[in-house]
């Protein structure tokens, strides 16, 4: 009897690991997704290890060598204050990636917690939260972000908060709907009958079932927030302009003079933003194919 169970367990394990292997293989075979993953990893890596990759201080001003085109000394040239563009883009990536990743993570977290609660407890709480999410969704995102920035003030931390406030609704709806569907499942009722704490049922038993789409939507949000950060810089309500971020660097290069004379000042941050967003999107698509095939 026991040997039989262990056989089954083994079979299960084998099945599970082969599923994982199959998924990994599927992902690796998706060439775009792999390229995306590699780009994201490379960009994040260079941002994190910026001090090792460049000896320049991104804020070091050297007015004597302003607007130098890319050369050996300054790989990607310098800006109008003689700051090294390569260093600025690396350090800028730290802030931009941090803000968007944290924003997406926090948004997903809030969405998951509220969604679990709404879906599990239902009733008035559910109604209230759904209404709230509808209201948030009714607002044009950009306008909501601008108002929130006006209230909270500009700053890296505040921007994360703003992204979190404006980005939880999709996750919320997804998690809530899934919870509504799963709440009636037998295994949940069994857990309840065993007297398992509600929080444990919610987060340990049900939540793992919805993690895949949540992860996918969080990746997509990261891409969106990178673009939002750039737009906010353009409108002058993003991260304070003294902090180098991709958005701020690109925004500083929007003048006609720069666009027509100093290509590296806009092409580099613009290119990095586009590549990162593209890569994240490819990566997210690949992830979706693997994790969540039915929800294309």
Q: Where are the alpha helices (DSSP H) in the chain?
A: 2-29, 31-48, 50-53, 85-121, 123-138, 141-152, 156-167, 169-183, 186-193, 198-200, 211-235, 246-252, 256-261, 263-291
For 151-162, the three-class secondary structure string (H helix, E strand, C coil) is: HHCCCHHHHHHH
Q: Which is nearer to other proteins, 25 or 204 (CB)?
A: 25
What CA–CA distances, in Å, run from 36 to 28, 106, 158, 277? Answer: 11, 23, 29, 9
Per the DSSP assignment, residues forming a β-bridge with 181 are none
Interacting residues with other proteins (CB under 8 A): 25-26, 29, 59-61, 63-64, 66, 80-81, 131, 134-135, 137-144, 146-148, 150-151, 153-154, 223, 227, 230-231, 234-237, 240-242, 247, 250-252, 254-260, 266, 270, 273-275, 277-278, 281-282, 296
Min separation Cβ 172 and other proteins, Å? 13
- In whole angstroms, the minimum distance from the beta carbon of 126 to other proteins comes to 16
Rounded Cα distance, 95 and 88, in Å: 11
d(CA 238, CA 233): 5
Decide whether 50 or 273 has the Cβ nearer to other proteins. 273
Where is 140: in which H helix or E strand?
A: none
Structure tokens at 223: 């891409």
Smallest gap, in angstroms, from Cβ of residue 81 to other proteins? 6
Residue/partner pairs of 137-145 with CB below 8 Å, 24 or more apart: 137/169, 141/166, 141/228, 142/228, 142/231, 145/228, 145/232, 145/237
Cβ distance to other proteins smaller for residue 205 or 255: 255
DSSP 205: I
The DSSP call for residue 239 is S
What is the rounded distance in angstroms from the CA atom of residue 20 to the CA atom of residue 17? Answer: 5
**Closer residue to other proteins, CB minimum distance, 55 or 138:** 138
83's torsion region: left (phi>0), alpha (psi -120 to 50) or beta? beta
* Residue with Cβ nearer other proteins (82 or 205): 82
**211 or 258: whose CB is closer to other proteins?**
258
1 or 143, CB closer to other proteins? 143
Instruction: Choose between 180 and 196: whose C-beta lies nearer to other proteins.
Output: 180
């Amino acid at each position: 009897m026991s040997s039989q169970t262990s056989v089954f367990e083994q079979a299960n394990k084998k099945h599970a690991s082969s599923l994982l292997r199959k998924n990994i293989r599927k992902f690796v075979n998706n060439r775009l997704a792999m390229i995306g993953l590699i780009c994201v990893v490379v960009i994040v890596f260079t941002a994190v290890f910026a001090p090792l990759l460049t000896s320049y201080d991104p804020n070091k001003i050297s007015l004597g060598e302003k607007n130098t085109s890319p050369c050996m000394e300054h790989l990607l040239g310098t800006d109008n204050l003689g700051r090294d563009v390569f260093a600025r883009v690396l350090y800028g990536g730290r802030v931009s990636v941090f803000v968007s990743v944290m924003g997406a993570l926090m948004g997903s977290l809030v969405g998951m917690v509220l969604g679990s609660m709404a879906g599990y407890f239902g009733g008035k709480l559910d109604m209230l939260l759904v209404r709230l999410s509808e209201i948030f969704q009714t607002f044009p995102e950009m306008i909501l972000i601008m108002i929130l920035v006006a209230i909270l003030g500009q700053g890296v931390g505040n921007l994360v908060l703003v992204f979190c406030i404006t980005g939880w609704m999709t996750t919320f709806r997804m998690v809530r709907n899934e919870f509504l569907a799963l709440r009636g499942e037998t295994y949940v009722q069994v857990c309840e009958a065993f007297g398992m704490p509600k929080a444990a049922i919610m987060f340990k038993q049900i939540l793992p079932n919805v993690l895949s789409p949540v992860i996918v939507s969080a990746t997509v949000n990261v891409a969106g927030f990178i673009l939002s950060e750039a737009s906010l810089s353009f409108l002058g309500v993003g991260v304070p302009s003294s902090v180098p971020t991709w958005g701020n660097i690109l925004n500083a290069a929007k003048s006609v003079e720069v666009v027509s004379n100093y290509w590296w000042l806009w092409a580099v941050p613009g290119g990095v933003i586009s590549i990162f967003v593209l890569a994240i999107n490819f990566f997210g698509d690949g992830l979706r194919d693997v994790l969540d095939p039915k929800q294309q």
